Amino acid sequence: MISEKLVKVGMADLNTASNGEFLKTTGLGSCVGITLFDPEKRIAGMAHVMLPSSSIARETPINVAKYADTAIPELIKRMLALGAVTSKLQAKMAGGSQMFSLPGHTDSLRIGPRNVESCALMLEEYRIPLLSQDTGGNYGRTIELDSSNGVLSIRSVQHGIKEI
């Protein structure tokens, strides 16, 4: 891939791409990489979601890309500004691993599964179909979305590369 066609998405960040650009984020452990794609306009979006709900935010102003319930609406808004159509959007996601488990600490350490659930609920709210996902497990992932075709490549040390 040519570096000028790469749009990086950092942790608690989001961005859009078109014209054959690639969106890429690394370090998905319990975080979820949620991607949206308009196949007709070939406009793509990616958010690196760290936490399920902005109701726990302590920062002011909040980083909307950090939380599932604020990142997805913001990503949709940015994609619409580029010409995407909400009814055409399709979603894929990866990440949401259970990176740590300690006896007696059930819900507080379920950040990964809760991130996946929150992202899925937001997609339902906007009636955006979730076409595919590679979530769960206990390993990290790097993802890359091709804005020319909506293919999501997922890399992990344990499982190599797969495309969804």
pLDDT for res 147: 97
Per-residue pLDDT at 57 exceeds 90 = no
Cβ count near 80 (within 10 Å): 15
pLDDT for res 32: 98
pLDDT tier at 101, thresholds 50, 70, 90: low
Summarised one tens digit per residue, pLDDT across range 63-84 is 999 999 999 999 999 999 999 9
In sequence order, the β-bridge partners of residue 25 are 143
The domain tally of the chain equals: 1
Q: Which residue has better confidence, 109 or 97?
A: 97
Q: By residue range, what is the domain housing residue 78?
A: 3-163
Summarised one tens digit per residue, pLDDT across range 127-146 is 999 999 999 999 999 999 99
Given the residues 17, 31, 50, 79, the one annotated as active site: 31
The rounded percent of the chain whose pLDDT value lies above 70 is: 91
The CATH number of the domain where 37 resides is what? 3.30.1330.200
Instruction: Report whether 152 contacts 92 (CB < 8 A).
Output: yes
Kindly state the average pLDDT of the residues 43-56: 96
119 is catalytic: no
d(CA 80, CA 158): 36
